[in-house]
Chains A and B, each alone.
Chain A
Amino acid sequence: MRVAVIGAGVIGLSTALCIHEQYHSLVSCLEVEVYADHYTPHTTSDGAAGLWQPYVNDHGNPQEVLWNKETFDHLLGLLGSPAAVEMGLFLISGYNLFTQPVPDPSWKNIVLGFRNLTPKELDLFPGYSYGWFNTALMLEGKSYLPWLTNRLVQRGVKFFHKKVESFQEMFAQGVDVLINCTGLRSGQLQPDPELQPGRGQVIKVLAPWVKHFIITHSTESGVYNSPYIIPGSEFTVLGGINQHGNWNEESSAQDHKTIWENCCRLLPALQKAKILQDWSGLRPARPRVRLERESIRQGELQGEVIHNYGHGGFGLTIHWGCAMAAARLFGSILQEKKVPSPPQPHL
């Protein structure tokens, strides 16, 4: 049984790992392959700061809330393990700031120590009158993706540097199941008007005295269009750009100015930070994540596709829950096909 995962961002690699971990001993000759035109460090996942935090306003999708929780709990369990540093996984505390009171988020009991900010804490952030403090996780893509890759290589998963042009091309090669983790460019494989880019730009700076994440929110600007500061293990990410429908992957001087001025106003000490570089990426935004099976038939070619894309600005946050769900869908495909298990040893 040949399974091809298309896409090597956090979604593709984690889904490949979940499927291989759960099924390779249950299915005889399970071959898992990864196809992608971009690998780490050139994926969208590599540019993200890596903070585990769902959007403040849910779409109200309870499934996504559960997948977020599964991911957090899974990562929290790995914190004490020797792999944590190599994975780019660590705890981080910080602030979410608002200009008016807001309802508590769906994830308040998932993160650690969630509470409202005290008046003295709000004094730190003039212009903001309400906020939250909590401890969450960082999962840095630039470390996590290589770690996932190593695990997959150890398991014998093969990688191909190739831009897949169609599902049909893969079925024609003999692939049985496709896992579509193509993020932003899923529309090229199958048109999806609900999938739009949410263009982001960030400035990476050296500001090692910053130990907290600081995320501001503005109802007028919309999600991630308000300044944020996220300290990583090597550099601090300044951001606050989310331009819906903008496909431009080049960094813009205007956006740089916006980010820099807003973040320095938020944290005056940043004025002394050393600027390393800008980065832009396109969040694969969708009203909800597309995570479902589809049977594709074209002439004599047929095969199963599991879609797992459209994770917007919360891919790292939700990835493990989605990978497990995709693996369950794969399990149901196996059941239907009545795929044979490996022979049992005779004693």
Chain B
Amino acid sequence: MAAPKVAVVGAGVIGLSTALCIVETCPSCSVTILSEQFSPNTTSDVAAGMLIPHSSPGTPTHLQKQWFKETFTYLFAISSSAEASEAGVHLVSGWQVFKNPPKEELPFWSDIVLGFRPMSKAELQKFPQHRFGQAFTTLKCDCPPYLLWLEKRLKVTGVQMYPRKVADLWELHSEYEIIINCAGIGAQQLVGDEKLFPVRGQVLKVDAPWVKNFIRDGDGSTYIYPGIHEVTLGGTREKENWSLSPDPGTTKDIFDRCCSLEPSLRGAQDIKVKVGLRPSRQSVRLQREVLSRGGVNLLVVHNYGHGAGGFSIHRGTAKEAARLVGECIAALKGSSSRAKL
């Protein structure tokens, strides 16, 4: 059978990492990436890219843990290699602080990040409004560098990338045999998934190079994440808000909340505002589907709905998606050999 033709729809962190996993596990596949947006204009580019998992209520904890661990291990190796700066992957230490006792003393990911422990009283003195805290070291994937690095690795293997807004998966059926749907928030329109909804996040990207540690309020609403060239200050979580326009009142609110956690931010320069729509869902949709129309089958692998946790589990879900692609290829081979009888 000729090399299966695979189209990946979406070029955010999920689309690019899934394409890379497919190429790694199926070198004979011909993979093409089609996306309305590429870096620096994807949702992933707005995110800070911190490896701190978010709860996905519909996904079994053991799976979340497995995907996070796979992602962390993968990025950990990159961070200690010569590629780290080009890939934008680096270690960062810091604190998660709580005004009220945290729901879990030991989150499921506490033994995957490095050096996780409760904060000492002396450390908590820096946060007079908070009474509990956790200290740990984790990884950060800066975007655009990480996405551009993935694109570069893909191009080296011969993967083609085209800007294209796919309105319907059936558009692709004559050119491609397997479609990987990594359309993120775009999946709502693309496949009509009403369980998918945006959670709008506004962030500030500022110049404050003296900030070397991350600080995060355990309620998830306020965070300070130092990246290579900018510090990301956040944020908001607005369910069902589709607006991509920055809101000035929100900007001031985010800045004030972050300054109360880290007063030195008052001296931050060059404040840029960005907005992204987290593609949120009860659980990540990671499954095969066979679409049928007029006797024709279209093999689809869905990999979308990562909400606030895309970076944290991207490699794990990409590997699972690649495994599902393997199943699709086996199915194609099976049906083509049956056709010969």
Chain A residues numbered 259-310 whose CB sits less than 8 Å from any CB in chain B: 267-269, 271-273
Do the beta carbons of B210 and A85 come within 8 Å of each other?
yes
- Asked if A272 contacts B86 (CB within 8 A), the reply is yes
Determine whether B85 belongs to the interface, using a CB cutoff of 8 Å to chain A.
yes
Q: Check A208–B212 contact: CB distance below 8 A.
A: no
Is A268's CB under 8 angstroms from B264's CB? no
Q: Mark B161-180, 1 if CB is under 8 A from A, else 0.
A: 00000000000000000000
Q: Check A93–B82 contact: CB distance below 8 A.
A: no
**Number of residue pairs spanning A and B whose beta carbons lie under 8 angstroms apart:** 100
- In the complex the two chains form, what is the Cα distance from A337 to B135 in whole Å? 53
Neighbouring B residues of A85 by C-beta, 8 Å: 210, 264, 267
Q: Is the pair A118, B85 in contact by a Cβ cutoff of 8 Å?
A: no
> Which chain A residues in 190-248 approach chain B with CB under 8 Å?
207-212, 231, 233-234
> Given the complex, which residues of A lie within 8 Å of B81, measured CB to CB?
268-269
Question: Which residue of chain B lies nearest to A235 when distances are taken between CB atoms in the complex?
Answer: B209
Chain B residue contacts of A347, Cβ below 8 A: none
Nearest CB on B from A59, distance (A): 26
Closest CB in chain A relative to B101 CB, distance in Å: 20
- Also in contact, A211 and B114, with CB within 8 A (given A82-B266, A272-B85): no
Please measure, in the bound complex, the distance between the C-alpha atom of A231 and the C-alpha atom of B267, giving whole angstroms: 19
Q: Is A29 an interface residue (CB 8 A)?
A: no
Q: How far, in Å, is B215 (CB) from chain A's closest CB?
A: 10
Q: A338 on the interface (CB 8 Å rule)?
A: no
Binary per-residue interface labels of chain B (68-106) against chain A in the complex, 1 for a CB within 8 Å, 0 otherwise: 000000000001111111101011111000000000000
Complex Cα–Cα for A58 and B120 (A)? 25
Minimum CB–CB distance from A150 to chain B (whole Å) comes to 16
Interface assignment of B137: CB less than 8 Å from any CB of chain A: yes
The answer to whether A90 has its CB under 8 Å from any CB of chain B is: yes
Shortest beta-carbon distance from B89 to chain A in Å: 8
- Per-residue CB contact flags for chain A residues 123-147 toward chain B (1 = under 8 Å, else 0) read 0100000000101001000000000
- A187 CB → nearest B CB, Å: 36
Residues of chain A lying within 8 A (CB to CB) of residue B211 = 90
Supposing A85-B267, A209-B84, A269-B82 touch, asked if A92 and B213 sit within 8 A by C-beta, the answer is yes
Residues of B within 8 A of A81 (CB): 263
Number of interface residues of B (CB under 8 A): 37
Q: Check if B119 is an interface residue, CB within 8 A of chain A.
A: yes
Q: Which of B85, B135, B263 contacts A209 (CB 8 A)?
A: B85
A269 to B264, CA, bound (A): 29
State whether the Cβ of B229 lies closer than 8 Å to any Cβ in chain A: yes
Interface presence of A91 (CB below 8 A): yes
A208–B135 contact, CB under 8 A? no
Residue of B nearest to A269 (CB): B84
A interface footprint on B259-271 (CB within 8 Å = 1, 0 otherwise): 0000110110000
A93-B93, A271-B82, A272-B85 known; A121+B126 contact, CB < 8 A: no
As a 0/1 sequence over residues 120 to 142 of chain B, the CB contacts with chain A under 8 angstroms (1 = contact) are 10110010000000010100001
| Min CB gap A47→B, angstroms | 19
Point out the residue from A79, A86, A233 that lies within 8 Å of B209, measured CB to CB: A233
Q: Is B119 a contact partner of A113 (Cβ separation < 8 A)?
A: yes
Contacts of A133 in B (CB 8 A): 93, 115, 137
B159 within 8 A of A: no
B22 to chain A, nearest CB (A): 28
Q: A124, A135, A207, A231: which has the most chain B beta carbons within 10 Å?
A: A135
Q: How far is the CA of A118 from the CA of B110 in the complex (A)?
A: 13
Residues facing A in B191-228 (CB within 8 A) are: 209-213, 226, 228
Hey, which chain A residues are within 8 Å of B209, CB to CB? 208, 233-234
- The CA-CA distance from A112 to B212 in the complex, in Å, is 15
Contact of A272 among B82, B213, B229, B264 (CB under 8 A): B82
From A234, which residue of chain B is reached at the shortest CB distance?
B209
Is residue A80 contacting chain B, with contact meaning CB distance below 8 A? yes
| Chain A contacts with B in 40-69, Cβ cutoff 8 A | none
In the complex, A112 Cα to B124 Cα: how many Å? 10
Chain B residues lying within 8 Å of A210, measured Cβ to Cβ, are: 90
Kindly list 17 other residue pairs between chains A and B, CB separation below 8 angstroms, not including A92-B212, A124-B80. Answer: A79-B126, A80-B126, A82-B266, A86-B267, A90-B210, A91-B213, A112-B123, A113-B122, A115-B117, A211-B212, A211-B226, A212-B91, A212-B93, A233-B209, A268-B80, A269-B83, A269-B90
Sorted nearest first, the 10 A-B pairs with minimum C-beta distance are: A269-B84, A85-B267, A90-B210, A209-B90, A93-B93, A233-B210, A268-B82, A272-B85, A209-B228, A80-B263
Q: List 20 A-B contacts (CB under 8 A).
A: A79-B264, A80-B264, A81-B263, A85-B267, A88-B210, A90-B212, A113-B123, A121-B114, A133-B115, A135-B213, A209-B84, A209-B88, A209-B90, A209-B142, A212-B91, A212-B212, A234-B209, A268-B80, A269-B79, A272-B85
